[in-house]
Amino acid sequence: MLNEPDPNPAPNRGPERARAPVKITDVAILAGVAPMTVSRVINTPDRVSPGTAAKVRAAIAQLGYVPNLIAGGLSSRRSRMVAAVVPTIAHPMFAGLIQSFTDAMRVAGYQVMLSLSGYGDNDKEALLRALLGRRPDALLIAGAAHTPGAFQMISEAGIPVVEIWDVSRRPIDMLVGFDHERVGEEVAHFFLGKGHTRFATISADDPRALVRTETFAAAVRAAGGTVVGEAVIPAPSTIQAGRAALRGMLGGLEAPTALFCSSDLLAFGAITEARQHGLAIPNHLAVCGFGNFELSAASEPAFTTVNVEGSEAGEIAAGFLLQRLTGNGPRTDEPVHLAFRIVERGTT
């Protein structure tokens, strides 16, 4: 597990002696002004004369002063931190979401506290308590399914909240959602329009993935199609799970001609497995994924999928929160539905 240690240890290891960190009064004394003036130089420089500001800045630089935002936050009642809760960042969609959200918030001076809630039913209220105890100025939360207790904690925190990803419930506050039912329906109609009659799905068992595939199945049945296989695998989705699921389907009496997967990883796995078995794609089996990961565009054959921009969602969410936080711009109280579109490639 570990290799041998460095035979030539560095000389300057170990942190500095924890001498008292420099604080605002130190800067004030050195600059010959009141602490409040130092605060102004940092936060509202317009209200300080250039000469004074210069003196203060020199003192700050000389002492290497880093303002204690914790203390400032306690006083101003704004922590300039926002909490973000997502199930995982191992998934490209959430990684993109967090990346763009974090970037957008940082530009505005907000630091993101990241919490990974996982897919299991671990204690979400404890997680929220840990987060809300740090008094974030706002909250981004993905994957909803709040318990009543969680719902109440969030409401009582009295901060702007953006829920992301889901669309079909009563939002706590703001919502940047995604209509998973419509995805299922549109993919169904896409396949039906190409004349397919026997369908299958492979889905992770997280609620939103299931909504997509179950709506898909319902839609094809409603149109007279038959669903010959509905595999469900434990979240999170993986390539291997897609391979295994397709393998399980190939034994069946009736082979599907069109397959909808709840994730591009599953789709890639299914395609890989199908080719192993000599199944012609798309002639014998058409496949559509979900997510439009790079894999779907860059693998061979590039495969059809549903595009949904995780990073776009992050930007929109950040915009919503910032306009609440700064009081500028139109207040966006209407739920926003993220657009999606089917990206047709070589597997359909």
Partner DNA sequence: GTGAAAGCGCTAACAG
Partner DNA sequence: CTGTTAGCGCTTTCAC
Contacting DNA within 21-50 (CB under 7 A): 21, 23-25, 33-40, 42-43, 47-49
Phi/psi for 114 (5° steps) reads -95, 135
Contacting residue, 13, 17, 19, 77, with DNA by CB under 7 A? 77
**Residue 67 touches DNA, criterion: CB under 7 A:** yes
Smallest distance, DNA to C-beta of residue 92, A: 38
Closest CB to a copy of itself among residues 108, 255:
108
Smallest distance, a copy of itself to C-beta of residue 321, A: 12
Smallest distance, DNA to C-beta of residue 245, A: 49
Q: Residue 345 has what DSSP assignment? A: -
Beta strands 258-261 and 226-233 are: unpaired
Q: Which of DNA, a copy of itself, none does residue 34 bind to, with CB < 5 to 8 Å depending on kind?
A: DNA
Closest CB to a copy of itself among residues 125, 228:
125
248-274 in b/e burial notation, b at 16+ Cβ within 10 A? ebeeeeeebbbbbbbbbbbbbbbbebb
Residues 269-308 that bind DNA (CB under 7 A): none
Q: Which stretch binds DNA (CB under 7 A): 73-81, 151-159, 260-268, 318-326?
A: 73-81
Q: Which of a copy of itself, DNA, none does residue 24 bind to, with CB < 5 to 8 Å depending on kind?
A: DNA
C-alpha distances out from residue 204 to 92, 96, 186, 259, Å: 15, 20, 19, 14
**Residue 18 touches DNA, criterion: CB under 7 A:** no
Q: Helix axis angle, 148-157 relative to 124-132, nearest 10°?
A: 10
Give the torsion sign (CA, 115, 156, 139, 262).
positive
DSSP string, 21-89: PP-HHHHHHHHTS-HHHHHHHHH-GGGS-HHHHHHHHHHHHHHT----HHHHHHHHT---EEEEEES-S
Smallest distance, DNA to C-beta of residue 330, A: 25
Smallest distance, DNA to C-beta of residue 8, A: 38
Q: How far apart are CA 322 and CA 174, in angstroms?
A: 12
C-alpha distances out from residue 254 to 250, 258, 262, Å: 9, 12, 21
Closest CB to a copy of itself among residues 258, 265:
265
Q: Which of DNA, a copy of itself, none does residue 132 bind to, with CB < 5 to 8 Å depending on kind?
A: a copy of itself
Closest CB to a copy of itself among residues 95, 232:
95
Q: How far apart are CA 242 and CA 271, in angstroms?
A: 8
Closest CB to DNA among residues 48, 192:
48
Asked whether the beta carbons of 159 and 138 are under 8 A apart, the reply is: yes
Smallest distance, DNA to C-beta of residue 65, A: 7
Residues 182-201 that bind DNA (CB under 7 A): none
Asked whether the beta carbons of 278 and 306 are under 8 A apart, the reply is: no
Contacting residue, 63, 72, 89, 214, with DNA by CB under 7 A? 72
Q: How far apart are CA 204 and CA 238, in angstroms?
A: 9
Smallest distance, a copy of itself to C-beta of residue 239, A: 4
Beta strands 305-307 and 341-343 are: antiparallel
Q: Which of DNA, a copy of itself, none does residue 17 bind to, with CB < 5 to 8 Å depending on kind?
A: a copy of itself
Q: Which of a copy of itself, DNA, none does residue 52 bind to, with CB < 5 to 8 Å depending on kind?
A: DNA
**Footprint on this chain of DNA (rule: CB under 7 A):** 20-21, 23-25, 33-40, 42-43, 47-49, 51-53, 67-68, 71-72, 74-78
